[in-house]
A and B are shown apart, each in its own frame.
Chain A
Amino acid sequence: MSSTDETLPADPQAYVAQVMAEIAEEVRVRRASGDLPPKLERELDELFLAHSPVAGRGGDLGDALRMVDAATFIDPVVPVESERAAGAVVKKGMRSLLLWYVGWLTHQMSQSTSAVSRALHIVDDRLQELERQVEGQRVPAAGVVEFPAFHHADAWWVEPTVAAVAKAPGRILHVACGDGWLVRRVIAAGGDAYGVDPRSRVIDTSALGPLDLRGEPVGQHLRAVAAAGLGAMVLSGTVEGMAGAERSQLLTAIGSRLAPGGTLVIHSVTRQAWEAADAPPETDLAAGRPLRPEAWCSLLEQSGYDAVARSGPGGADFLVTAVRAAITSPYQPVER
């Protein structure tokens, strides 16, 4: 089939591109002629899916139960076809001899799998009811709430924040980093900073250069960070609209990812600023409301931080700087 004596084209890439175009045209013509209707290709997909395990078809519990139901009955009448001449006769004889025994076993197995199937259907019904109830009570995750007056490189809190984190013992994460305005400042001060922001649209990946900015939610990002992998974290525009449970989950995640001795800086706005007429519309939609500086200090101290709060010049926002205490454990690390 091969032909190695052929003359090679002068421009192989252009030649291959031409071949690809001809193949596409060939397929178009074939399709138009009805040689291979699209319906047949769909049937191929369905045929393969029929062999795949349930979750391969989307992980639907209803599908799983249908497969369980279909497999509930175990047939004791084994097939007797054979490629050898006498094989079928021998197999048929063996089946007749053993049918009473195999039938007794398979009957019990069918009963057992039917009981399991019934139980799974009850679980399915209850799960569906629970899902309906939970759906009605679902609290939407808080998004970034950006106040133009506070979230920019010249804001009053930027300098003390940079001073607090730039010498951190590890990477410094700015949450709700936007286009990287604070990350740039920290890097300029000698810190190893990067940022995440759930609003991936605000990160212009084509203009990042050496900047490390990632478009993903902070919770998802922290799950991928190693324990004690961060030297410092800065949260701005992040915590104000969080409901209690979400805030608690975030603090737990931060607690495990921030190195002992690491710094957590939280910039937040007061409730007055949150409820002012010119506040961003996200404030109306958020599930939670801002905590007061005293509440943040109390919450962080309960979580093992030494926290200090300071208010901004207009009294509309504040900065909490918290240092995570070094871990004290009665157990000493094992010398290797």
Chain B
Amino acid sequence: MSAAAGGPVAVHQFIATLNPHDATGAHALRLREALRTAGWRSEIFAEAIHDDLAAEAFKHWMYPEHAAPGDVAIYQFTTSSAVAGYVAERGLPLILDFHNFTGPEYFAGWEPQSVRRAAAAADELALLAPRALLGLAKSTFSEEELRRAGCRHTVITPVLADYRRVAAPPDRRVAAELAHLGADGGADILFVGRIVPSKAQHELVKALWAFRRLYDRKARLHLVGGTSSFEYSKALQGFVHDLGLSAAVRLPGEVSDAALAAYFDAADVYLSLSAHEGFGVPLVEAMVAGVPVVTRGAGAVSDTVADAALVLAAADPSYIAAAVHRVCTDGQLRATLTAAGVRRAAELSGDAVATRILRAVAAVVGGP
């Protein structure tokens, strides 16, 4: 490998979509800054670039204009993309930064196009993993998947996310609206994530229904996030309507950082019943915001939350309702989870994570 002799000239990143509002996009931007600060040249090449970041990245096919001997590629793997084949074709020394992807089984019956896309992602992982000098996994869950795909050298490094956004001043209009809703009492349960089958928002609705029936008739559920699954979103809304919960389940869609801060500010508990999570950035955001977390331990969730959340042993609505009730009413439990959450969030934040990534990169490709 040319990089080994005198160190790489550049460590460039390749990514399917560079979007400032998703965890991977934010991760790539922060990693670029860390790489540059450490002394490497570093650019981002993407298949799709959000308008707000047009000046921050290049289209992936523009890479040859920037190529130099000794370049190393970091591929941000999140979903199926033409960039995967492009990176494999270039034959650059490769580091696979694996964020995991939702498998086709979670979309089966809902979105045929998503099933195909997820299956293609699995093929692309099989293509890239055996070629990678290093796999950066976001959890032991993802590390096992990387190894199964043939990646022989792996390191666990969390997502480089800016968790401080939830501690920003909350949007005043949203905060006032939430305060008005809560004026008559009732717990505010929050979940943040795209409305897709793998996030299982319908399970959250079931839990709310049981919670209202058994403990708190005024409780509300806020499902923040856009959707990429029309069928699932439609079914969810029909389900909410049939249960008579239209006023109690709020679906504000994608929101600004300030509005998100307002939702975390108002939340009594963060509840996640996802069937699959590659990392779960909102779980950490809840911890930063001081909101106790109750969650199912699916995918990488148990790795992410460690001992800083109430990880549910069962998924039936009555059990979840009892757990949420306990968190909402037991001051000592809230204080314990909140303190552990702040500690855990600190472990997953800041420069220490960037240092771990840079150290792993330097170990396989040489220093800048």
Q: Chain A residues in contact with chain B, CB under 8 A?
A: 1-9, 12-13, 15-16, 19-20, 22-24, 26-27, 30-31, 35-36, 41, 44-45, 47-48, 51-59, 171, 194, 212, 214, 224-226, 229, 336
The 8 closest A-B pairs by CB, nearest first: A3-B331, A55-B109, A56-B109, A51-B235, A6-B335, A51-B238, A224-B126, A226-B127
The yes or no answer to B130 lying at the interface (CB within 8 A) is yes
A41 to B318, CA, bound (A): 8
Instruction: From the candidates A8, A45, A55, A214, name the one contacting B148 in the complex (CB within 8 A).
Output: A214
A55 to B209, CA, bound (A): 26
Known: A2-B268, A53-B235. A24 touches B214 (CB 8 A): no
Taking CB atoms, residues of chain A closer than 8 Å to B122 are 224
Known: A6-B334, A23-B323. A52 touches B109 (CB 8 A): yes
A23 and B326 contact, CB distance less than 8 A: yes
Fill in one digit per residue for B304-318: 1 if any A CB lies within 8 Å of its CB, else 0. Answer: 000100100110111
Q: List 20 other contacts, CB 8 Å, given A8-B339, A15-B336, A26-B326.
A: A7-B332, A8-B332, A12-B336, A16-B333, A19-B310, A19-B326, A19-B330, A23-B326, A27-B318, A30-B214, A30-B322, A45-B206, A48-B206, A48-B235, A56-B109, A59-B108, A171-B150, A194-B150, A225-B126, A226-B88
- A193 CB, min distance to chain B CBs, angstroms: 12
Known: A6-B334, A171-B130. A12 touches B319 (CB 8 A): no
- B-side interface residues, number (CB < 8 Å): 57
Instruction: From the candidates B238, B239, B335, name the one contacting A3 in the complex (CB within 8 A).
Output: B335
B109 and A36 contact, CB distance less than 8 A: no
Task: Report the tally of A-B residue pairs with Cβ distances under 8 A.
Answer: 138
A9 to B337, CA, bound (A): 11
Taking CB atoms, residues of chain A closer than 8 Å to B317 are 36, 41, 44
26 A-B contact pairs sorted by A residue (CB < 8 Å): A1-B268, A2-B338, A3-B332, A3-B335, A5-B335, A13-B307, A19-B333, A20-B310, A20-B313, A24-B313, A27-B318, A36-B317, A41-B317, A44-B206, A47-B242, A47-B243, A48-B206, A52-B109, A52-B235, A56-B108, A56-B197, A171-B130, A212-B150, A226-B127, A226-B130, A229-B127
Known: A52-B235, A56-B109. A336 touches B318 (CB 8 A): no
- A253 CB, min distance to chain B CBs, angstroms: 14
Instruction: From the candidates A8, A51, A226, A229, name the one contacting B239 in the complex (CB within 8 A).
Output: A51
A27 to B207, CA, bound (A): 13
Considering the complex, which residues of chain B in the window 317-355 have a beta carbon less than 8 Å from any beta carbon of chain A?
317-319, 322-323, 326, 328-340
Taking CB atoms, residues of chain B closer than 8 Å to A51 are 234-236, 238-239, 242
Taking CB atoms, residues of chain B closer than 8 Å to A8 are 332, 335-336, 339
The yes or no answer to B101 lying at the interface (CB within 8 A) is no
Instruction: From the candidates A9, A53, A225, name the one contacting B336 in the complex (CB within 8 A).
Output: A9
A59 and B109 contact, CB distance less than 8 A: yes
- A39 CB, min distance to chain B CBs, angstroms: 12
Say whether chain B's binding surface is mostly helix, strand, loop, or mixed: helix
Tell me the nearest residue of chain A to B127, going by C-beta: A226
The yes or no answer to B359 lying at the interface (CB within 8 A) is no
Taking CB atoms, residues of chain B closer than 8 Å to A3 are 331-332, 334-335
B210 and A36 contact, CB distance less than 8 A: yes
Known: A41-B318, A52-B235. A1 touches B310 (CB 8 A): no
Taking CB atoms, residues of chain B closer than 8 Å to A55 are 108-110
- A128 CB, min distance to chain B CBs, angstroms: 21
B310 and A16 contact, CB distance less than 8 A: yes
Known: A30-B318, A229-B130. A53 touches B110 (CB 8 A): yes
Tell me the nearest residue of chain B to A221, going by C-beta: B126
- A287 CB, min distance to chain B CBs, angstroms: 29
A1 to B338, CA, bound (A): 13
- A31 CB, min distance to chain B CBs, angstroms: 7
The yes or no answer to B56 lying at the interface (CB within 8 A) is no
Taking CB atoms, residues of chain B closer than 8 Å to A45 are 206
- A71 CB, min distance to chain B CBs, angstroms: 14
- A332 CB, min distance to chain B CBs, angstroms: 16
Fill in one digit per residue for B190-234: 1 if any A CB lies within 8 Å of its CB, else 0. Answer: 000000010000100010011001100000000000000001001
Taking CB atoms, residues of chain B closer than 8 Å to A212 are 150, 152
Instruction: From the candidates B109, B239, B316, B326, name the one contacting A22 in the complex (CB within 8 A).
Output: B326
Tell me the nearest residue of chain A to B231, going by C-beta: A53
Taking CB atoms, residues of chain A closer than 8 Å to B330 are 19
Instruction: From the candidates A36, A47, A171, name the one contacting B214 in the complex (CB within 8 A).
Output: A36
Taking CB atoms, residues of chain A closer than 8 Å to B336 are 6, 8-9, 12, 15-16
A52 and B110 contact, CB distance less than 8 A: yes
Tell me the nearest residue of chain A to B209, going by C-beta: A44
Tell me the nearest residue of chain B to A55, going by C-beta: B109
Tell me the nearest residue of chain A to B339, going by C-beta: A8
- A95 CB, min distance to chain B CBs, angstroms: 23
- A28 CB, min distance to chain B CBs, angstroms: 10
